[in-house]
Amino acid sequence: MEKKIIAIIGATGAQGGGLARAIAADPNGGFAARALTRKPDSDKARELAAKGAEVVAADLDDFESLRKGFTGAHGVFCVTNFWEHFSPEKEMVQAKTQAEACKAAGVKHVIWSTLEDTRIRVPLSDARMPTLKEKYKVPHFDAKGESDNAFRAAGVPTTFLLTSFYWDNLIHFGMGPKPGPDGKLAFVLPMGDKKLPGIAADDIGKCAYGIFKRGKEFIGKTVGIAGEHLTGAQMAEALSKSLGRPVSHGAVTPEVYRTFGFPGADDLGNMFQYKRDFESEFCGARDLSVARALNPELQTFAQWLQVNQARIPTS
Ligand SMILES: NC(=O)c1ccc[n+]([C@@H]2O[C@H](COP(=O)([O-])OP(=O)(O)OC[C@H]3O[C@@H](n4cnc5c(N)ncnc54)[C@H](OP(=O)(O)O)[C@@H]3O)[C@@H](O)[C@H]2O)c1
């Protein structure tokens, strides 16, 4: 039987890469990966080709390249990378371009990697967190949540995938435990005693694969996924065990976090505050059993640490 093609935006990245690897790991699953990238000659693109993916040049800023890249595909995984440009407006344009290209290509199932529009619960007039870039509370969330409308407006059969904080941020995003002036390690998480839904980034793509496999039942639905919901203290305890040295929870406030000064600190400070202040809604939207049903290999934080602890910078 001919395999159903899944065209993957971000196939050289964390989310799409997980999906491409999940498809490659299941050669009899009935699906084939088409990896869309701006750089078909990159090492990451070559790795995907070596695993059997078809590699196709495409750019989110070029509708025609997406339309071509999506043509003949059964499914498309859509994602945007806010952190490449820090522009919510650009992210929304790229989401709309993907939605319209899916429509033009007649795709049967789209997964849009989204997040909450925080302004629904915290309107711009709400002073408990600052308004950023004039129109947003958490720009990299709000732009994705607002973009859900682009997929609805295009009328494409979409599953809205609510992702979670990657534990990989401890490796790649400077969020690992840091030594204080006393040399002792602290893991900063500005959420007090509230729980953060987290996930191994690779598991997002595996869950997306589960959604494509089950197909129709998820069209038009929002599906939230996480590997575990953990407090900062619980994460610090797991880090202590795994690293073999004490790690405390650096329980700063979101107000302090926003002043840290690195690019996006204000956005992330607001994000953590939102997750803290709406813990039950945010965790409730990310049912662990749903994620595990989609991806039976779903990792816990301890399992992820077992594999990755040596990659976490601690200096
Ligand atoms: N870090 C977290 O905890 C977390 C949690 C939830 C959601 N997110 C969201 O995840 C998104 C990023 O996804 P990721 O982490 O999977 O990405 P990533 O690993 O940072 O890689 C970015 C991917 O996006 C592709 N890309 C970017 N701009 C493109 C363009 N103009 N045209 C075509 N492809 C483009 C890149 O492809 P090429 O370079 O090969 O073209 C690459 O594959 C962000 O928007 C972020 O807000 C992050």
Task: Pick the residue whose CA is nearest to atom 10 on ligand 1.
Answer: 81
**Residue 166 Cα: closest atom of ligand 1:** 3
Which residue do the tokens 């344009």 mark?
93
Q: Residue 33's beta-bridge partner residues? A: 6
Cβ pair 15, 204 in contact under 8 A: yes
pLDDT tens-digit series, residues 230-269: 999 999 999 999 999 999 999 999 999 999 999 999 999 9
Task: Pick the residue whose CA is nearest to atom 14 on ligand 1.
Answer: 14
Cβ pair 141, 274 in contact under 8 A: yes
Where does ligand 1 bind, in terms of residues with CB under 6 Å?
A: 9-10, 12-16, 37-39, 58-61, 79-84, 140, 163, 165-166, 169, 173
Task: Pick the residue whose CA is nearest to atom 31 on ligand 1.
Answer: 60
Task: Pick the residue whose CA is nearest to atom 12 on ligand 1.
Answer: 81
CA gyration radius, the chain? 19
Query: Ligand 1 center to residue 14 CA distance, Å?
Result: 7
Query: Ligand 1 center to residue 182 CA distance, Å?
Result: 36
Which residues, including other chains, have CB under 8 Å from residue 201's CB and lie 6 or more apart? 14, 15, 18, 166, 167, 168
Query: Ligand 1 center to residue 51 CA distance, Å?
Result: 20
Q: In the chain, which stretches have pLDDT less than 70? A: none
Which one of 81, 117, 203 would you pick to mutate in the ligand 1 pocket, going by the greatest count of ligand atoms within 8 A of its CB?
Answer: 81
Helices (H), the chain: 14-24, 43-50, 63-70, 82-85, 88-105, 139-154, 169-172, 201-214, 232-243, 254-258, 265-277, 279-284, 288-294, 301-308
Looking at residue 315, its pLDDT comes to: 86
Note the pTM of the prediction, 2 decimals.
Answer: 0.98
**Residue 11 Cα: closest atom of ligand 1:** 43
Task: Pick the residue whose CA is nearest to atom 44 on ligand 1.
Answer: 81
Report the distance separating Cα 312 and Cα 292, nearest Å.
25
Number of H helices, E strands in the chain: 14, 13
